[in-house]
Structure 1
Amino acid sequence: MTDETSSSSTYLRRLGVWSGAAIVIGGVIGSGIFRTPATVAERTASGLPLLALWALGGLLTLAGVLCYAELGARRPQAGGIYLYLREAFGALPAFLFGWTMALINYPGSVAAVAVTFADYTCRAMSLPALWVKPVAVGAIFFIVGVNLFGIRAGALLVNVFTLLKLAAIAMLLIVGLVLAHGHFGGVLAIDATHQVSGGAWIGALLPVLFTYGGFHYLNDMAGEVRDPQRNLPRALTLGLVGVALCYVLANLAYLVGLGHAGLAASKAPAADLMSSIFGPRGATIMAIGIACSTFGYCSIAVAGGARVLQTMGADGFFFRAVGQIDTRWRSPQVGLAVLGIWAIVLIITGTFDQLVNFTTVGEWLGHAFGIATLFWYRRQFGAKSSPFRVPLYPILPFVFVCTVLGVIIATVIDTPRDAGMSLVIIALGVPVYAIWRRWPRQQAGA
């Protein structure tokens, strides 16, 4: 449908390939690449395995992205994993995913990253720490306000801040590979200060995979992608390949500029690399870059999460008002307001970090079951019903599901308390589901 002939109660398809790719890049690249490489360096013995882990993480994530590309091409509507679970496995699994993500993880992530944005902004502007929460709240107000005016306004905001975060990474590359006067031979040298076992690779791969997370947001907004059967797979693939390239090159820049031992010892490698050339100004410049990167992520998470809420509301599993789409701007305005207000409450109360930790296992379970729906779609409708098909099926979806299950097991072993709370939160969704099942009947009988 064109914009002119589409119903006023539906979204408008205004996202092209480049805007879609910007959403993928912006949803994946937050603050992780500016800090996580130091953790990975601690768990590796040289630059070669470190770079290999980042390349491997990109390949494993690409397997998931290709699966999401087929799912999005099959069902190019708003809602993402929630929609796939509802069709394949029924209303209860879909609700439990939406309950965990749209009502807890999404606003918790928005709150956490907004605080990170505010922290770096205050550092760059030399503001006292007491300004962090007000700046974070102001950022969410601004992001929600822009997205109220539809996907074009939201996409413009995302595009601008995606370019800014890519500029920050480009600056890292120039400093590390050119200005720092390091040597590439040191990348392959063994770091005698770090003796690690073969099993440490698993522990090093885990933060890499977490840093690659966030590629699913475009599927949440699939109802606004033009010619989605063609453009959505292209945008997903282009965006993830761009992210992987940025990640590998950024780590190469860290290794050349700081050396493996320097990277492993750093608490803030991006700031340390910039400071090595520009002094304190370098740290300030990088703080601005990280602030731009995290702000862009917040905008994407708010837009994607609100559309999952809207889909749930339209299905009758949340307040009906949340399921409405504004007839003028074609945006889920009530959903945006609900998610934004809840994120602000989490910032003010300071409970967002724990909530995000508590829902990590639920998020990865959602990814595992979401990809598993592809097997159901293939069995029900066959390969020919989709204009895009995952190559090497069923190997790639099987590899990604196994990878996700491995992440879940490692998370349970590493943080059993948080994993247990995640399962409790999911279980609490069952009685809530029962209440919302009865809610329409109660309204009808009123």
Structure 2
Amino acid sequence: MQESHVELKRSLGLWSALAIVIGTVIGSGIFFKQASVLQMTGSTNLAMLAWLLGGLITLADGLTLSEIGSQIPHTGGLYQYMTHIYGEFWGFMSGWMQVIVYAPAIVGSIAGYLGLLVTNFFGLGSVWKAPIAIGTIILIAMLNMLENRYGAAFAIVTTICKLLPIAAIVIFGLFFGREAGFGETVTSIHQSVGNFGVAVLGTIFAYDGWILVTNLGGEIKRPEKLLPLAIILGITIVIVLYLGVIFGIFRSLSAAKINELGQNATAYFALNAFGAFGGRLVNIGIMISIIGALNGKMMSFPRIYYAMAAKRHLPFAKQISSLNRHTQTPVVATTILLALTSLMILTVDTDRLSELCIFAMYSFYIAAFVGVFILRHRNGGKPAGFSTPGYPVVPIIAIIGTSFVVISELFFDFVGAATSLVIIGLGIPLYYWLKRHYKNDDSIDVM
């Protein structure tokens, strides 16, 4: 059998998809953002409300996109949705932004943070940060070059492992917390705070990543049913876990102490709650949590490269769209992501680069959510698959919530928003060159 005829293996069940949703979302954000959200809201009660609202907006996003995913259950997620709803040009633009900057930058940013945690944990010099980051993504990339069941199994294992420190924080706060936790106001914390909207914005970013499971639509069994279920259950579970962590921290540390410690609040809590050994175990759990998030991204992002190449939307399309005949995975696409990520880690500020993509990515999210109305119109006013509960209110909430992110980016990082538009613009001449270059070359249908 020729490599060009090899297809992705549709072998991922609900547990695998669910683990990818949870594991990709829960990285480091929930463990280190308590102080920043608390400072911006001005009270512990409002901080908890900000986390809840951010979760509900994310759930509205997931419910809305689930309707689209059930109708277009193909590999490539957002790229496929934009192509199907708005045409090849806008599909290409959404995919181009992801493959050229967003995917390698976000993987590099998370890997870099893991490298920092590992060097601090073992008392290594900062010179080891980049080698540890790159070494980790190499190992994870190699794992995801095997059959997809191995990456899925690793996602399940790391998700279970990351639940342990979360459970420890929740249980300790529930049964052994001695602080008032709720009701502390801004006057006892900080002098100039109170931007509730910015706090909600920060929590929305902490919930981001769930959409990546849609990139695996061609490998999930019965995706028209299991994909919406995995998204909705996954986001709901993450909301509960996030609120549980916030509750545990607020019950265990005073608001003033959390504000003083900043990003070190969770580490301080672990040390005081469980002793030196227990604290180190919790910190190991956090590092495993980040590794799990990296695995989800290294598993899902290469599918965008593969799907775009299959439609002849990337140079070297035949090579990138090839699948290994033994593992049925996009090895070349995974290698490209690995190479771009490693290069970025060594040469640029991946944190800043990933921030530059926020405006563009969330703009495409808005377009996708609006697409629910377009698809219903095409289908005579009825959903063709999964039906978003609370339609049309829930999609409108998703659009408004995501628009809030886009508008906020314009206000708080106009240069970044403009830069992301420039990056998208650079893809326009490439799109038309590819159309001419591959005009006599048939694209490959992908699941």
> TM-score, structure 2 length as denominator?
0.93
Residue 445 (structure 2) aligns with: none
Distance verdict in 2 for CA 1:116–1:199, change over 3 Å: closer
Residue 246 (structure 1) aligns with: 241
1:122 aligned to which of 119, 126, 147:
119
Deviation readout 1:372-420 (Å, 9 max, x if unpaired): 2212211112455533110121211111111111111111111111111
Distance verdict in 2 for CA 1:266–1:67, change over 3 Å: same
Contact 1:175 1:273 in 2 (8 A): no
Residue 332 (structure 1) aligns with: 330
Residue 356 (structure 2) aligns with: 358
Residue 3 (structure 1) aligns with: none
Shift of 1:95: 1.0
Quick one: distance in 2 between partners of 1:371 and 1:10? 29
Quick one: distance in 1 between partners of 2:192 and 2:164? 37
Quick one: distance in 2 between partners of 1:77 and 1:244? 27
Contact 2:42 2:194 in 1 (8 A): no
Q: How many residues align?
A: 436
Q: Does residue 172 in structure 1 map to residue 174 in structure 2?
A: no
Q: Does residue 394 in structure 1 map to residue 389 in structure 2?
A: no
1:44 aligned to which of 33, 41, 46:
41
Q: Partner letter of residue 196 of structure 2? A: W
Deviation readout 1:318-371 (Å, 9 max, x if unpaired): 122111222321111111110111101111213322321221111111211122
Matches within 5 A, 1:2-401: 9-179=6-176, 181-183=177-179, 185-194=180-189, 200-267=195-262, 268-281=264-277, 283-318=279-314, 319-320=316-317, 321-382=319-380, 384=382, 386-401=384-399
Q: Partner letter of residue 161 of structure 2? A: L
Q: Partner letter of residue 418 of structure 2? A: G
Deviation readout 1:58-86 (Å, 9 max, x if unpaired): 11110110112111111111111100111
List gaps (5 residues or longer) in structure 2: 443-447
Shift of 1:284: 3.1
Shift of 1:279: 4.8
Quick one: distance in 2 between partners of 1:197 and 1:137? 40
Q: Partner letter of residue 190 of structure 1? A: T
Contact 1:62 1:237 in 2 (8 A): yes
Q: What SS class does the counterpart of residue 253 from structure 2 fall into?
A: helix
Quick one: distance in 2 between partners of 1:324 and 1:397? 36
Quick one: distance in 2 between partners of 1:199 and 1:38? 13
Quick one: distance in 2 between partners of 1:155 and 1:28? 15
Q: What SS class does the counterpart of residue 421 from structure 1 fall into?
A: helix
Q: Partner letter of residue 265 of structure 1? A: E
Over the residues paired in the alignment, what is the CA RMSD in angstroms?
Answer: 2.0
Q: Partner letter of residue 112 of structure 1? A: S
Quick one: distance in 2 between partners of 1:432 and 1:387? 35
Q: What SS class does the counterpart of residue 434 from structure 2 fall into?
A: helix
Greater mean deviation of Cα atoms: 428-437 or 33-42: 428-437
Quick one: distance in 2 between partners of 1:238 and 1:124? 34
Quick one: distance in 2 between partners of 1:382 and 1:245? 37
Q: What SS class does the counterpart of residue 192 from structure 1 fall into?
A: helix
Shift of 1:421: 0.8
Contact 1:95 1:317 in 2 (8 A): yes
Contact 2:39 2:193 in 1 (8 A): no
> TM-score, structure 1 length as denominator?
0.93
Quick one: distance in 1 between partners of 2:32 and 2:149? 32
Contact 2:61 2:395 in 1 (8 A): yes
Q: What SS class does the counterpart of residue 252 from structure 1 fall into?
A: helix
Q: Partner letter of residue 56 of structure 1? A: L
Quick one: distance in 2 between partners of 1:441 and 1:21? 39
Residue 426 (structure 1) aligns with: 424
Shift of 1:442: 8.5
Quick one: distance in 1 between partners of 2:194 and 2:120? 38
